[in-house]
A and B are shown apart, each in its own frame.
Chain A
């Protein structure tokens, strides 16, 4: 299974961009990079995912390097409500039918947004 490496914790000032790095040097060519976050006592919340190209949605942007060995999640204007554990995950693919697809969580980054 592809592994990810993230910093244990990061701080960010409210209103500034939060840039969360992730290394996934063993990723395979057809595996997607997913980002989730988990606020205390809630289930993980999907943020964004991508394969090769950079992606943007209403929550965040995902920048994937050309060699796909690392990525960065960007929260453009962090708020106090963005304080959470952020997980970078490589989706392990199984059979075509998706019966054995896995989402294996790493240890994540605790992002603390400071007022």
Chain B
């Protein structure tokens, strides 16, 4: 079981669809993260939110649009994706500020397939 909940667990979408991934945590964490993980590769950081403000965008294409509507929720809006965007999308949260002392807590991810 994880304290970070991601929905849906699986998603299949066409290249012209618009969909959203959702992430929720109730640990009072003020930093939230999106990672992307391709098969047999380590997770890659996409976005970091701190106090509901976007603080890091790791040069992610604009077809991925993050949103943090409140301190417990993180969304990733998807539009006009490519088949190569198929991956496991992981959400994480941590305390902030922490100077690197507090661990990230990860959800179990959304398995996305773009057809």
Contact = CB atoms under 8 A, between A and B. Distances in A.
Given A32-B100, A43-B108, A102 B2 contact: no
B26 to A, nearest CB: 17
B48 A99 contact: yes
Contacts, number: 85
A41 B99 CA distance: 30
A108 B43 CA distance: 11
B108 A100 contact: no
Interface of A: 30-32, 34, 41-46, 49, 87, 91-94, 96-108
24 contacts: A30-B99, A32-B100, A41-B88, A41-B108, A42-B109, A43-B4, A43-B90, A44-B104, A44-B106, A46-B103, A93-B100, A94-B55, A97-B96, A98-B94, A98-B97, A99-B31, A100-B50, A100-B55, A100-B56, A101-B96, A101-B99, A103-B33, A103-B92, A106-B42
